[in-house]
Structure 1
Amino acid sequence: MEKIVLAPAMGELDDGTDPAMSVGVATECAAGLDVSLSGLIYPDGSPIEQARHIFEIIDEIVEDDLGGDLSDITLLRFYVRDDVLTSAFRHQLHDLRRDLFD
């Protein structure tokens, strides 16, 4: 079983200008690739701007590194602090996901 390790500047220290990302792995399986990305963060901007940047990073990895697109994603799990998860933010996040995944 072949594994592809996905990590920016692996083995180098980040200077703080790029989003942080823990290692991701793409594993070949009968249906194609099973990809796991975890630990994506983007600390700058409003919560919705941070979410937009994370989706852009995911899109770039899926398209550029793996030859897929956002429609190939079957599961997204992200965490939002309670004080940020307002009704307005939920609506903005829903709109963002609808725009990106439709």
Structure 2
Amino acid sequence: MCSRAVSAGIRGSPGVDWRRHYDQLTYTPLPVPPEIAKGVRAYLDTFGLIFGAFDFGLDRDGGWHWYECNPNGQWAWFPDHITAPITRAISDHLQHGAPA
């Protein structure tokens, strides 16, 4: 199973639904806190998944709040600096398989 967690912050929406304001958004790679990575890994393992696009919201204090896991989530619409690590992780898994 792939063990890499990649996260992107989406900022700049003037409203709650950021999908209405693509032209105003910025995308920033975010470090995934160890406890979040551990929880994501446990979720994937429980459901036998090797990939999941997890949606989180961050509060004003930096706390992560989980919304959902999309086991076939879309990510290729992000800019290259966000998609490159995801593409590498999936490609590595396809080429080398799960680590022993």
TM range (shorter): under 0.3
Structure showing greater relative contact order (alpha-carbon pairs closer than 8 Å, 6 or more residues apart): 2
Give the structure with the larger strand fraction: 2
TM-score calculated relative to the size of structure 2: 0.26
TM-score calculated relative to the size of structure 1: 0.26
